[in-house]
Structure 1
Amino acid sequence: MTAALPGAGLGVGVVGGGFMAQVHARSARLAGARLVGLSSSSPESAARAAQQLGFDRGHASLEDLLADESIDVVHVCTPNALHAEQAAAVLASGRDVVCEKPLATTVADAAALVEQAAGAGRTATVPFVYRFHPLVREARDRVARGDTGRMLTVAASYLQDWLLTADDDNWRVDADLGGASRAFADIGSHLVDLVEFVTGDRIVRIAGRTRTFVADRAQHRGVTNEDAAALVVETAGGAVGTLLVSQVAPGRKNRLHLEVAGAAESLAFDQEHPETLWLGRREGSVLLPRDAAQNSDAANRYSVVPSGHPQGYPDAFAAFVADSYAAARGEDPDGLPRFADGLRAAVVTESVLRAAATDGWVDVPA
């Protein structure tokens, strides 16, 4: 007998009608949930997006959406500055919530959401979806069982080019909508989450620089949040590393790369080529494929098609949403990123801004 999909019987609401709303809606449908309602910046845009994405109806406002009793879980996919208020409203309505990152633009708001979710007893997750590539789980498993040996160094980067020129513009460059941090809060948060998830080690000290290279854009003048950040880090376990985050790297579309060097073995993952994991050894480095016969149970849990049939970002996102719905049903999936992980990202982001402002090392609060 085939097990029911984790979203079977769940009614889903989405706040927002842009690209991320499309990704969330597609993943919700794959998990077996029903797309019930969508709200956006106006009743007209909500009606249009609802029709395009296959929702039963558009809602005139978030309040209207939360009054819909057929909605069980709400995905928040709006500009960053709205996340905290809207996620809090969803929790207050007694529903489970999936909130896009950054969870909040301040540590205080993120901490308040963690406390509210715990008090309400609701499932509250953040889509750090790169955790859900099978070979990321393989890398994490290899580190945890000691294959890499003592952790020595980390070299990680997340590079994009979509905001390279002055003609490139987006609401995220407006600090009132995107937050005081842009590149790091939006994609550096993914990078730090992946580093800490794979290694099981926390970053405890940071020094670095942020830069705004394009201050005047097509529709925004005097941009203050950063285009790039370059960091040196220390971990609780004694490793050192470098992190580079940029949205102005020509030719790099969405290149998240993580390389960890241990005393016994190195490993590297590139999310633009997620079907192989590089294993570095003193004698003979190898490329490990996604293959049930060669991978751990932790990796195979997220392999949805046989080796040789490529998986990628949509599959990772779908796995995250499926695990979020499983948690809403009372399960406890390993490695599910919850609001506490969103708070961690906010703490690290704030530490990055402090390090850049003070021109020295800063401690990252636990």
Structure 2
Amino acid sequence: MALTVEMKTRTLRTAFVGGGFMAAVHSRAARAAGATIAGVASSTAEGAERAATAIGADRSYASVDDLLAADVDVVHICTPNSTHAEFALAALAAGKHVVCEKPLATGLGQALLLADRAEAGSLVATVPFAYRFHPMVREARARVAAGRLGRILTIQGHYLQDWLSSSSDSDWRVDARLGGPSRAFADIGSHLVDLVEFVAGERITRLEAMTRTVHAEREGIANVATEDLAALLVELDGGAVGTLLVSQVAPGRKNSLVIELSGDLESLRFDQESPETVWLGRTDRSSVLHRDASTLSPDAARLSLVPSGHPMGYQDAFNAFVSDTYRAIAGEFPEGLPTFRDGARAVRLTEAVLASAAGGGWQDVSAEAVAVPA
């Protein structure tokens, strides 16, 4: 008689540092992936209690140290930018897997140190470049990789928002002490350059940028030191050239993230506000490709969870990002997972944008940056 042994799989226990909007997004994704929301810590014990109630956590912790000492497997860091590196380093030192909001750090040295520490500890450490997880982004990437566009010649893209259009609009991100030296580019431009490099399968090798601070004063901040917009000229390692525009002061644009790649055979365009389609253009015709798992590349079909005509959106993409992170923790190797190394890449590009805008001209970002000794 054969003996059947059932292995009981442990339910992943997640914890959150921070309790704002992004913590809510992360917690919905964690719950969708089947994890237990074990606890939350915030800047105060009272804030942690409110956050635990808001996201449905089992309990609150009086401090981050208490949370890291608890029985949790993965820590999601959803706090102001200036605290990311400190909390992520502490979580890695405690042997926890980490999901850290971007920017991974406000300086390249810290970002590279974080990537090195995660790799040295064999810990899964990811940054939510969640737009990678739209099925039609994966389809666009697959078409580029298959040579459907031919040789990429030009790239254009933008990420436009309007939530800081008025001088009366303000937020902690505006304050460089909390948000870091870059705002618009670090906050949303990082998504744009990540998406360009991810879909193109090539890296930006050099860039030149200008930035503008439209409102020198905002509600509660007398001297605004962070940029409202940035414009970039870029070159990719395959020789393509492109223009990228980032703005948080574009009235009427709520979350307009668009990339368009043109090759010598075909062009394609993805618009995050219409994520169910990719526009395709040739000299003799143009068409719109709709999300339909039966016609998509395998990776795009994998992320297409509902039938065509049933719209998928931002939370679905974020859910897929967290699900793939948890799969990696379980020992799988999901394709396209954005790690701390990708987060450090975004910090490097951000520093290059600021250096160029400060009068540094063209910035070479082709070679891999190396971590400074700890």
The bucket for the TM-score relative to the shorter chain is over 0.9
Whole-Å Cα distance in 2 between the matches of residues 213 and 258 of structure 1? 25
TM-score of the two chains, using structure 2 as the length reference: 0.95
Q: Residues of 1 paired with 2:366 and 2:114: CA distance?
A: 18
Deviation at 1:294, TM superposition (A): 2.0
Task: Say if 2:64 is the partner of 1:77.
Answer: no
Instruction: Spell out, residue by residue over 1:85-124, the C-alpha distance to the aligned partner (whole angstroms, 9 max, x if none).
Output: 1000000000100000000000000000011101111000
Within 5 Å, which residues of 2 pair with 1:1-366?
9-69=11-71, 71-358=72-359, 360-366=361-367
CA distance in 2, matches of 1:155, 1:217: 31
Q: Secondary structure at the match of 2:209?
A: strand
Per-residue deviation at 1:360?
Answer: 1.9
Does the CA-based 8 Å contact 2:128-2:321 persist in structure 1? yes
Tell me which residue corresponds to 2:5.
none
Deviates more, 1:352-361 or 1:171-180: 352-361
8 Å contact kept, 1:216–1:222: yes
Cα offset, 1:59, TM superposition: 0.7
Aligned partners of 2:93 and 2:177: how far apart in 1? 25
Contact 2:206 2:235 (C-alpha < 8 Å) held by counterparts: yes
Where 2:116 maps in the other structure, the secondary structure is helix
CA 275–295 in structure 1, closer or farther in 2 if over 3 Å, else same: same
Deviation at 1:205, TM superposition (A): 1.0
Runs of 5+ consecutive residues of structure 2 not aligned to the other structure: 1-8, 368-374
Take 1:276 and 1:8, find their aligned partners in 2: how far apart are those partners?
A: 38
Instruction: Tell me if the contact between 2:29 and 2:319 (Cα under 8 Å) persists in the aligned partners.
Output: yes
Q: Which residue of 2 aligns with 1:4?
A: none
Using the aligned pairs only, state the percent identity. Answer: 60
Give how far 1:264 is off. 0.4
| CA deviation map 1:281-319 (0-9, x unaligned) | 111100000012221111101001000000000000000
> How far does residue 8 in structure 1 lie from its aligned partner after superposition?
6.5
> Partner of 1:176: helix, strand, or coil?
helix
Give 1:41 shift.
1.2
CA 1:221–1:35 in 2, change beyond 3 Å: closer, same or farther? same
Q: Which amino acid aligns with 2:145?
A: A
- Per-residue deviation, residues 32-77 of structure 1 (Å, max 9, x unmatched): 00000000111001001101211000111100111112x1100000
Distance 2:148 2:120 in 1: 39
Helix, strand or coil: the match of 1:14? strand
Instruction: State the match for 1:3 in structure 2.
Output: none
Local SS of the residue matching 1:267: strand
**Contact residue 347 and residue 365 of structure 1 kept, 8 A:** no
Question: 1:167, CA displacement in angstroms?
Answer: 1.1
Q: Distance in 1 between matches of 2:180 and 2:50?
A: 28
Structure 1 unaligned blocks of 5 or more? 1-6
What residue identity is the alignment partner of 2:80? P
Q: Which amino acid aligns with 1:189?
A: S
Deviation at 1:330, TM superposition (A): 0.8
The runs of 4+ residues in structure 1 deviating greater than 4 Å are: none
1:78: Cα distance to partner?
0.2
Task: State the distance in 1 between where 2:360 and 2:161 align.
Answer: 25
Q: Match for 1:111: what amino acid? A: L
8 Å CA contact 1:208–1:359 kept in 2: the answer is: no
Alpha-carbon distance in 1 for matches of 2:94, 2:219: 39
Deviation at 1:228, TM superposition (A): 0.1
2:50 is matched by which residue type in structure 1?
A: R
**Which residue type is aligned with residue 217 of structure 1?**
R
Over the aligned positions, Cα root-mean-square deviation in angstroms equals 0.9
Amino acid at match of 1:298: D
Distance 1:238 1:338 in 2: 26
Residue 206 of structure 1: how far off its partner (Å): 0.7
Q: Deviations over 1:165-213 (max 9, x none)?
A: 0111100001111011100001000000000000011101111200000
Contact 1:183 1:226 in 2 (8 A): yes
AA aligned to 2:55 is: L
Number of residue pairs matched by the alignment: 359
Give the TM-score, by structure 1 length.
Answer: 0.97
Tell me, in whole angstroms, the C-alpha distance in 2 between the residues paired with 1:302 and 1:175. 37
CA offset at residue 365 of structure 1?
4.5
Note if contact 1:8-1:33 (Cα within 8 Å) is conserved in structure 2: no
The residue type paired with residue 37 of structure 2 is L
SS for the counterpart of 2:295 is: coil
Q: Distance in 1 between matches of 2:263 and 2:176?
A: 39
SS of residue in 2 equivalent to 1:293: helix
Structure 1: distance between partners of 2:364 and 2:124: 30
